[in-house]
Structure formats: C-alpha cells, structure tokens
Amino acid sequence: MTALPDRTDRRLGLVIDLDTCVGCHACVVACKGWNDQGYGAPLSDQDPYGAAPQGTFLNRVHSYEVTPASGPAQHVHFPKSCLHCEDAPCVPVCPTGASYKRAEDGIVLVNEDACIGCGLCAWACPYGARELDLAAGVMKKCTLCVDRIYNEALPEEDREPACVRTCPARARHFGDLSDPESAVSQLVAERGGIDLMPEQGTRPVNKYLPPRDRDGWGEDSDVLAPFLTPVAEEPQGFLGWLDRALGKL
Amino acid sequence: MHPARSLLAFTTLSGMGFGLLFWLGIDPTPPKGWAALVFFAIAYALCLGGLAASSLHLRRRERALRAFSQWRTSWLSREAWGALAALTVSGAYALPLLIGVGVLPLGWLAALLSLATVGATAMIYAQLRTVPRWHHWSTPALFLLLSLTGGALLSGRVLTCSLLLVASAALQAWVWWDGDLRFARSGTTLASATGLGDRGTARALFPPHTGSNYLLDEMVVVVGRRHAAKLRVIALVLMSGLPLVLLYLPPPHLFGLLALVSHAAGVLVSRWLFFAEAEHVVGLYYGRR
C-alpha cells in the first residue's frame, strides 16, 4: 500500500558531514559495487566504454562553491542519496504499490517486481534520489543497504551501509535519528544538522552537517605575507630601459 | 521535463476523446442510430488511442494492470479507474442509442466520469510540488477547459465551441505568463537545496558525473525551450485563432474538419510547451533549471 505509515518505530538514516567530505567518490563506488550484487536488479550502465557513457547510481557527489560576503570562497563536496523522508512524496504517487515506506525503521524501498517503470516517483522526488534503471526498466533507489544492516552473516562492523563503511574521511554516519541519545542524533544536535529543501515539506530523515567556518584573510592569519612584500616597485636594468623606452613611444 | 511523445499523444488525444464523451453524455437530444455509432466510434478511437500511447511510457508494460491497485493514494491509479469507468458507462449509454433508445441519466454519469478522468490526468502533474509550474490549480483547469473545447468542436457545437476557444486561449495565455513566475515563487533555490545559503552565495562548481544520466535526460531537459516564445504564438493561433475563423466558413463540414485539425495541432504544441518549459527543482543541484 502506498499510504505512508502514520509513524515509524525508528528513523534510520544518514548524517553527512559537509565539513569533512573530501569528495573522493569512494561512497559512490562502494554503493554501486554493493548494489550490483544481491538486492534487486543490478545497477546497469549504458554505453560504458563508448562515446556517451551513463549509468544508474544511488549516490552521487556534487561540488559547490560558496562565496561569503567577505573572505575566501569555500569548496564544498556534497554527497546526495535518498533522504528517506518522513513525508516521502515519492511513495503516495506510486500507482502500483511498488514504492513503500517501512513502518518499522522508516526505510523507503521499491518492490521491483511490482514496478511498472512509469517514473512518476522520480518526478515527485525533489532531490533526484531515484533513477530508473534503463536495462531493468524498474526504479532504483538507495535501500540504506537493508541487506547489510540486518545481515547477521556479516561481521558486526560491516552491518552499516556500504557508503558509510567505506568513507575514508568518516564524513558519513549511520544510525537511528528518532533516538535522541543515538550518536547520530547527538552529532546533529552538536553541529546544527540541517534538512535539504525544507520548504518542500518532505521532512527528510537524513541530515547534513554544515561546513565549519574557515580561517579568514584577517590581519594575522597570513604569517608569511610580510616576508613576501615586493622589494623593488620600479623595474631596474634592461627591463627598466625597456619600460622607459616603451613609455616614450 | 522531457516532452515524451507518448505523453503528448495521450494527453492531447484522450483529452479530446473524453471531452466528446462529455458533450454526448449531457446532450438532451443525443445522436441516434448511425450518427451515434460514428460519434461514439470517434470518441472511443481518441480515448483508446491516447491510452494506448500512454502505455508506451511504461518500461514494464506487462505489469500495467497493477496500476489499478492504489486508487486511494495515487492520481495515476485514479486516472486508470476513471478511464475504465468512463468508457464502460459511455458504452452502456451508447449501445441503446444505436437502436434509438436514450437513457439520459446514464449519459450524465458518463459525462461526469469523463471529466473526472481528465481531471485525474491533470492532477498527476498538478500534485508535483517539485515542478512549481505545474503545482497550481490552473493545471487541471486548463486540461479540463481544453478537453471541453475539443469535445465541443468534435460534436459540432459552433457557438459553445467559439466561447470555449476564447476562454481556453485566455486561460492558456495567463498560465504561460503566471507560470514563468512560479519557480521563483516556490522559494526553492540552490541555497535551500544545499543548505549553504546562509554562508554566502552558492554555485554549482562541477557535476557529479561527466556524462548525462536519467535525471538530466528526464527532468532537466532545456533544449525544448529554445523556441518557446514562437511556439506560444503558434500554439495560440492553431489552437484558438484559426479554428475561430474556420468554424464560420461554409461549407461547415470541410472547414469544421480543418478547424479540428488546427485545434488538435495547437493543443499538441501547447502540451509540448507544458512539458518542455516545466522546470524540476532537481535541476538546481546541477546548477540548471
């Protein structure tokens, strides 16, 4: 049924630290790798070695530049995957019931056997979290690695989403955001985690930790500057003659 | 949004077909015998042709029947039920008409269901907050008005049709003017999309992938907007201007047919713009609209 659950027992999700993400795309590769084996249709590529390669990914890393009113511009790497919204707009639009949100942990999933590939859920998502797999003809989205997090065949440290497990900068955190005592909730409270596009009314579970303030270009921040001031303002010797000669022309 | 040929054909053809079923349904003196057969055959051809085209939009057509299951939450599912109900009740109304018996209340129900189907189609688009240009009451209003106009034209109601041609042209012109302002009005920007707005001015530096992807091909299609201004004029002339003149030229059947072709072509151009000009908020993440 594509009605959203009134409430979910837990709210499993990710906390993504925009301050520490280095933009290495390891999470993108780990996600693609894990989701090529096991759960649902594998993520396909089209024309992978040709002139216009493209493929299905459940996680992508954008890059933005933020220019403050004063001071240096800042470069922010921005990983984006499904935010497992509490008020997920992609779920009620589904005509077949393939798209659903689990009442027990809040994960938004697609039953690929019931998906007709109409694409309406991807239209309804403001974040671009859903991609229709062009080979399988069904909608793909982040499963929060539902086949890892509850998988008792895996060592305990591997029971978290592939993107979180692989991140070398520890910029991705996984946990229950409905529990105020959980590590992820503490992190969100401490760092002022935010929702993406709050005006869309989706109430995303995933939170983003804003970048910390950088050192400015203030008086004493640049300790080398005094040693690098130019010693000769006027050109000397041959360059000086050239400068004067050209100036007289 | 990508103007898929299947959806252009579906919304244009089925819109006119259900419009015709509406006018046939509320007609106090409906056509009977052979005339009824011709009118209902045209309506069914348009409706079913459009619905067949819409199924081409599905990647897994063999599961299409599952789309009937979620009518409580999904407008797409309601549209499927509406189309089935409208065509069934219209059939039940049409069959006795062929032998000269008109069960008028059945016609009224068929008319209501036909309008409801067009309304459900429009609500598929109007419900999407992610496409501010569509997320507005005017989307179902224009779909319904154009459906009624096409139906009136098909059923040969010259005066009603003339009034509807003027009304739909006026609404269409306003929808274009107002639609251009809706993205800004929605309040969704790159600043809110990234949450970086209060730190300064954000701009997309480079995309997450070098090639294209499903999102860009489906929702960030900008190439169709290149000639938008010219296409708007062409749409208005074909959709309303030309039919208004042609309707009053003798002989009525020849020019009526020309008016119909012109109107259908105009609605098709208008639907092209409906999709091509619609900006999805996901484009912001790519620094585009």
Asked if the C-beta of B131 comes within 8 angstroms of chain A's C-beta atoms, the answer is yes
pLDDT, averaged across chain A: 92
Of B200, B219, B282, the CB nearest to A67: B200
Asked if the C-beta of B227 comes within 8 angstroms of chain A's C-beta atoms, the answer is no
Asked if the C-beta of B66 comes within 8 angstroms of chain A's C-beta atoms, the answer is yes
pLDDT, position A224: 74
Residue A79's beta-bridge partner residues? Answer: A61
Please report which confidence band the pLDDT of residue A31 belongs to, taking 50, 70 and 90 as the band edges.
very high
How close, in Å, is residue A234 to chain B by CA atoms? 39
Of B66, B204, B218, the CB nearest to A64: B204
Q: Do A116 and B188 touch (CB under 8 A)?
A: no
pLDDT digits 0-9 by tens, B67-121: 999 999 999 999 999 999 999 999 999 999 999 898 999 999 999 999 999 999 9
Residue A221 has pLDDT above 80, yes or no: no
Which domain CATH number covers B116?
A: 1.20.1630.10
Residue A219 has pLDDT above 70, yes or no: no
pLDDT, position B222: 81
Q: Do B60 and A28 touch (CB under 8 A)?
A: no
How close, in Å, is residue A182 to chain B by CA atoms? 23
Residue A35, amino acid: N
Count of the separate structural domains present in chain B: 1
**What percentage of residues in chain B have a pLDDT greater than 70?**
100
**What's the half-sphere exposure (Cβ side, CA atoms, 13 Å) at B176?**
20
Interface test with A, best of B62, B71, B74, B279 (most A CBs within 10 A): B74
pLDDT, position A220: 56
Per-residue tokens: B76: 């797409």
Q: Is B72 exposed, middle or buried (0-12, 13-18, 19+ CB in 10 A)?
A: exposed
Interface test with A, best of B58, B65, B68, B70 (most A CBs within 10 A): B70
pLDDT digits 0-9 by tens, B210-243: 889 999 999 998 877 888 999 999 999 999 999 9
Handedness of CA B75, B80, B84, B87 (dihedral sign): positive
Q: Do A120 and B76 touch (CB under 8 A)?
A: yes
DSSP letters along A11-37, please? Answer: -EEEEEETTT-----HHHHHHHHHTTS
| Interface predicted TM-score (ipTM) | 0.94
Strands A54-55 and A45-46: antiparallel
The residue in chain A having the minimum alpha-carbon distance to the alpha carbon of residue B75 is: A93
Give B134 or B254, the one with higher predicted confidence: B134
Q: Do B186 and A199 touch (CB under 8 A)?
A: yes
Of A18, A117, A131, the CB nearest to B213: A131
pLDDT digits 0-9 by tens, A3-30: 899 889 999 999 999 999 999 999 999 9
Per-residue tokens: B280: 């999805």
pLDDT, position A234: 79
Give, in words, the CATH class of A12-209. alpha beta
pLDDT, position A217: 60
Asked if the C-beta of B251 comes within 8 angstroms of chain A's C-beta atoms, the answer is no
Q: For residues A219 and A216, give the distance between their C-alpha atoms in angstroms, rounded to a whole number.
A: 9
Q: Do B58 and A116 touch (CB under 8 A)?
A: yes
Backbone angles phi and psi of A189, in degrees to 5: -65, -45
Strands A59-67 and A74-81: antiparallel
Least confident stretch, A180-194, A215-229, B158-172: A215-229
Q: What is the largest CA-CA distance in chain B?
A: 75
How close, in Å, is residue B223 to chain A by CA atoms? 18
Domain span holding position B204? 5-286
Q: For residues B33 and B93, give the distance between their C-alpha atoms in angstroms, rounded to a whole number.
A: 13
**What percentage of residues in chain B have a pLDDT greater than 90?**
91
Q: Do B193 and A95 touch (CB under 8 A)?
A: no
Give B205 or A227, the one with higher predicted confidence: B205
Q: What is the mean pLDDT of residues B121-139?
A: 97
Asked if the C-beta of B281 comes within 8 angstroms of chain A's C-beta atoms, the answer is yes
Please state the domain extents for chain A: 12-209
